[in-house]
Structure 1
């Protein structure tokens, strides 16, 4: 009976034949298939009287190629076995399954014998038949023999009934089920175990069971947590130096090559809307599944440079690092090393491919105070002309990015001088132009370069932008302004993966849509994640990409140069073949197809607030409704039928509201006071066609008192198409007063639209002048319901301001954006057509466009 252990494995065998009386040990040395300078390692097995587990160690002789048989005596009642000559062992190989394989040895002879090994040759040869080890030795014998022989013997003995894997160490316990023992499973141990040994085994087994139980419990708890994460299982948050852009969970690394998953193949653009609706059903269930199927990051990723002690402070988040992957070339951006500064070539930035354009982008983290100099060094060395910033400096009171540019004048960062040349602030983004130059050049011949930064400011602290319209405008501006000769476009947010990845994917898929009439979002995200881990960070960002692509596919590019407006109008007035209507009507029908989200009007539909609505179909959405202070001791007093509306240069430029009802006049003035509105535009008469359109919310003479507010008319002046009233509004509770100017437009007839656009152009100019004097607080605009004429005024004011600033107009997208913010803005086809007419009149009023550019 022999006790064999292989790395902790115990093998016990009882032969069916009678054991010999004289113990002997036969050892074998394996033949070599190739010339060698030393013998192959052998398995050394030790057993003892009180051993519960044997120890197996590889024995590598260093002097002679022949292994001397080793027998070490262990104190036992029986004498130690004498040494015997060694025999050649069969060669050991490893199969793909991880099991040791060998040439088949002959069946052991029941009579103990000694065998000699064949001498090793210099040429490869098949192993000779080797004799097997004798398993009849008494306990306490240390044997050297080949494991495959035991393995062979193990599975040829008729007494073997089962093999049990225990203690994670491959422990084999064999027991007999022969007829001579009555089929009773007797454990065959190599020697008689003492009670302490048995207890040790039992304790070990008990410990193993406890460990297995704990592992199972921990696994179940982790699985439950992972499952609860739901759509965020492939997304994560960057907080306190850990990963996070919107929703961070700890996620496993997946080893998956960037090959396209055929479950999510490229999608033809004509199927895009249908697939969007299907995948967005059931709260974006299919989109979440698709996003979670993306590879997070290849497990073979190597981040040696980023993990160096000298570079740790240069990383904003410890788990967002530029890495090198097993199946891609290194994508980390390398800076030119500074003399005497170790690891000065490192910056947390990665090259990212565009659509069929290698290294079109550099995805970088938002610069830290410690890395601003490195950032500008990268801009210079990479010959970058365009920087795309997709984060604000602070969000949720957390620093997301250091300000790496001067507000005005110039500043030197390392050896790069940065001067501010120009800045334009718009509603969704800001454009800054910098002039950069290397310093330290005595000759003064170092060239200057122009770098343009496009800073997208409309990404909310949580989630994604409400509509992709602003992002598409922003992206188009970036494309048009980036010079052909320039190096990679540097794109960064905070971590350089979530919003950065979203921008890059939209850009690439728009290019693919134009070239192939299909998009492959899943495949492209998979590929760029091989260049930088976690690109496109959340399922919301993933869905937003599809929304942007669908927006572009359905509506296209509707921006116009002012010089092409006349020809465009001719097309709109011409009938469309097979459509049964003109281009203008077809364009407006697209606007009316936008669904009104009635489920997002909860507050306005409360029973206590229904009586405050003049028209039940026009109720503000929750996300942008104007909230007024609650009256003390009264519930549901924070509601008024008014919505914040974005303008051309800033958000919440307007408060679009209905004409006050008699019982909502006080709420109207509380809104004016709370939001510090200094300009009111009234686009209706108090009564039209015998019906009240608006309650008179000011006094013709004297003072009107509305709760805590007092309104006094100070001055009234008539103009050609509108009346200007200067009002003094006093908050009696706070004992403060403010001046408010009302512009009452009379040029809108009771039916239809104004006969020309002159009056509207004049009142818009007057209101904008007033705003410059009083400050950029919201302009209050109302008609009767706060939609048709109100929407037309807001649309024209926004479009004309852009025409003056950029020489570009986009009536369609402007009105579409308004309708997404408040139902039925620009209510009729006549009003929509009137917007185009007014813009055309405005342009025609100038013989030279440069006069108003």
Structure 2
């Protein structure tokens, strides 16, 4: 029992990250207790000692505390009175442990770093260096990240460590340094009311450009708004969701609608704009005068890791830069702990400024400097790599956003030949898109032997991460696959299901997909047969009812419009004994070769589909041509671009198509289709006599 007790104490002490001295103290106490058959009072002392050690572990569960105490009681063969005493001490220690129930941020184990130097990197070497450092599963990037000093200076956290302030810290191991912490004005009669877990952080060449803060806790929301007011902040950047993996990451510090008072600051919601990657909320805050504060809430950061592509983050960051007034105080950036994602955002901002000013970046040096202002800034090697990915994305493709008023002049430049390129600007732009690598290794399900026959074109198979999954048929394997991909729209994720035209033997799967994902709108961009070849099986009845497995499809109405046919279908799931209305828009304006002669038909089609969506609910729109890439991608691109034009008066055809191609291979398949996107947008803009109509 002595050996068992020693091992248990030692392993627990090590796993709870207690210091070596505490480990030895606990083990020595147990040894002495056992060997000397200590008296009741000494046993109680031992119990208190162990209880304090246990309470130091803020993540230790109640059951583990109980198990340890019981095992110690048994191994020590204590008398009933001693056991009762131990139980009493255990209760006290548990109460203490619960009262100090602070969380800690898990910190990655660091491998030994080298003495290598990491000087600033010229931007023209960025792609080459990225490829070199990402080889062998990011080996060199991990070495570089591990070489970062955890804390470059000797800094105290005395204010954060005060007993009065411990409850204000979300994580016990993420505390602001005294020299860089934000000081609030003291409240009369409230000791230490000047403390908030937030730190000033420098930008590229601007002192205290940012405040890096933890996500407010319920008990610190009033302090958060005091900081916003006192620092004259006009912009809040939020890089976490309120809950992730069922854990609270940040208290909701704003009202959903109307107004709410936090301390002596009144906050009212003026406007909310929800987009696919982020939400913009405008608040009117007032104490005596009133001010406008804008919150930019990035919602596309996954629970694990980093975003799939930096495109959304770069758009988000540009919006923040554009909207933050020059007169305003520091931009407040927060995630949950205020170090990982917060640091990532700040570093990308600073390095983009450095890239523009010096044509080089110094990620290692800048992270080192801001870690002297707040601990653990840029928390993981994945975040560190993501910074480089964002910088490379910006360097390779630049800023391709346009105001609608500048589209005509931009098109003139695109049609002009590029000096020394042997092609025009439009062709050069499209070549950049075709250079995006197709990730064949991420198409596992579509390439299974059982599913190969379900693909119309073997070069166009959905990626694993966003393929549309349908329920497995009872007793049949490999029946969850359909050649279709979820595609993000302007305002929400998974706005579209980009699908191939059904084959005769996949019609049932197509309708199972429609039913499972509650799609009420189908956009068909091909004829059943073109140039003597089947492009799509007829998956609806010409009249009467068509039965496909458990699904019955009935044609209720058919109407010919100028460039498309509308078919109203009643889809019944016979197994569930439920029915739904589905509307199909069959576009006839796409010629067998080339592209439509004008954009009017496509503009009208998009408007009709959007109206149908408003009436039927915003479930995914099913879009298909034959292979589900060329015309399908063009429709998705135009729908997204035109919606943004209406909402913001801004367009970005290049990045919209690039994003589509990252979600499904060959979306917007030809240069002609890419040019058509620009032409339709220009035609749409020309249809308005003045810009005010976009608002």
- Please indicate, yes or no, whether the TM-score normalized by the shorter chain is above 0.5: yes
- On the 8 A contact 2:110/2:146 being kept in 1, the answer is no
Task: Answer yes or no: is 1:286 the counterpart of 2:128.
Answer: no
Residues 436-461 of structure 1: CA deviation (Å, up to 9, x unaligned) = 011xxxxxxx2111100000001011
Match of 2:434 in 1: 592
CA distance in 1, matches of 2:624, 2:677: 17
Deviation at 1:336, TM superposition (A): 0.4
SS in 1 for 2:272: strand
Task: Answer yes or no: is 1:381 the counterpart of 2:230.
Answer: yes
CA distance in 2, matches of 1:475, 1:334: 27
CA distance in 2, matches of 1:296, 1:252: 13
- On the 8 A contact 1:628/1:638 being kept in 2, the answer is yes
SS in 1 for 2:546: strand
Tell which has more relative contact order, 1 or 2 (C-alpha 8 A, sep 6+): 2
Q: Which has the larger radius of gyration?
A: 1
Deviation at 1:422, TM superposition (A): 0.8
Task: Answer yes or no: is 1:606 the counterpart of 2:448.
Answer: yes
Match of 2:665 in 1: 823
CA distance in 2, matches of 1:632, 1:716: 35
Task: Answer yes or no: is 1:335 the counterpart of 2:194.
Answer: no
Residues 344-381 of structure 1: CA deviation (Å, up to 9, x unaligned) = 01100000000011000000000010000000000000
Deviation at 1:851, TM superposition (A): 1.6
1:249 to 96, 108, 112: 108
CA distance in 2, matches of 1:241, 1:299: 26
TM (norm. structure 2) is 0.84
Deviation at 1:323, TM superposition (A): 1.5
Match of 1:481 in 2: 323
Deviation at 1:779, TM superposition (A): 0.4
Match of 1:391 in 2: 240
Task: Answer yes or no: is 1:535 the counterpart of 2:384.
Answer: no
Alignment of 1:392-407 (within 5 A): 392-407=241-256
Deviation at 1:822, TM superposition (A): 0.3
Alignment of 1:458-477 (within 5 A): 458-477=300-319
Match of 1:510 in 2: 352
- On the 8 A contact 1:253/1:298 being kept in 2, the answer is no
CA distance in 2, matches of 1:670, 1:819: 26
Match of 1:27 in 2: none
SS in 1 for 2:579: strand
Q: CA RMSD in A?
A: 1.4
Match of 2:163 in 1: 309
SS in 2 for 1:357: coil
Deviation at 1:248, TM superposition (A): 3.6
Residues 714-760 of structure 1: CA deviation (Å, up to 9, x unaligned) = 11111000000011111111111111000000000000000000000
Structure 1: gaps of 5 or more residues: 1-239, 325-329, 439-445
SS in 2 for 1:350: strand
Match of 1:849 in 2: 691
Deviation at 1:304, TM superposition (A): 1.1
2:213 to 350, 364, 368: 364
CA distance in 2, matches of 1:654, 1:694: 19
CA distance in 2, matches of 1:625, 1:342: 56
Q: Are residues 547 and 505 of structure 1, via their aligned partners in 2, closer, same or farther at CA, if it must alter by over 3 Å?
A: same
Deviation at 1:243, TM superposition (A): 3.6
Match of 2:76 in 1: none
Deviation at 1:263, TM superposition (A): 1.1
CA distance in 1, matches of 2:367, 2:483: 43
1:679 to 521, 530, 542: 521
Match of 2:22 in 1: none
1:412 to 238, 255, 261: 261
Deviation at 1:262, TM superposition (A): 6.5
Task: Answer yes or no: is 1:701 the counterpart of 2:543.
Answer: yes
Alignment of 1:563-602 (within 5 A): 563-602=405-444
2:174 to 306, 311, 320: 320
Match of 1:750 in 2: 592
Alignment of 1:397-796 (within 5 A): 397-438=246-287, 446-796=288-638
Match of 1:347 in 2: 196
Deviation at 1:307, TM superposition (A): 1.1
SS in 2 for 1:738: strand
CA distance in 1, matches of 2:247, 2:109: 21
Deviation at 1:310, TM superposition (A): 1.1
Match of 1:166 in 2: none
Deviation at 1:478, TM superposition (A): 0.4
Deviation at 1:628, TM superposition (A): 0.5
SS in 1 for 2:202: strand
CA distance in 1, matches of 2:303, 2:475: 33
SS in 1 for 2:186: coil
Match of 1:23 in 2: none
CA distance in 2, matches of 1:542, 1:530: 17
CA distance in 2, matches of 1:243, 1:568: 51
Match of 2:639 in 1: 797
CA distance in 2, matches of 1:716, 1:504: 55
CA distance in 1, matches of 2:423, 2:102: 58
- On the 8 A contact 1:253/1:299 being kept in 2, the answer is no
CA distance in 1, matches of 2:676, 2:369: 48
Task: Answer yes or no: is 1:808 the counterpart of 2:650.
Answer: yes
CA distance in 2, matches of 1:812, 1:503: 23
CA distance in 1, matches of 2:166, 2:159: 9
Deviation at 1:296, TM superposition (A): 1.3
The count of aligned residue pairs is 595
CA distance in 1, matches of 2:392, 2:108: 29
TM (norm. structure 1) is 0.69
Match of 1:87 in 2: none
CA distance in 1, matches of 2:598, 2:654: 20
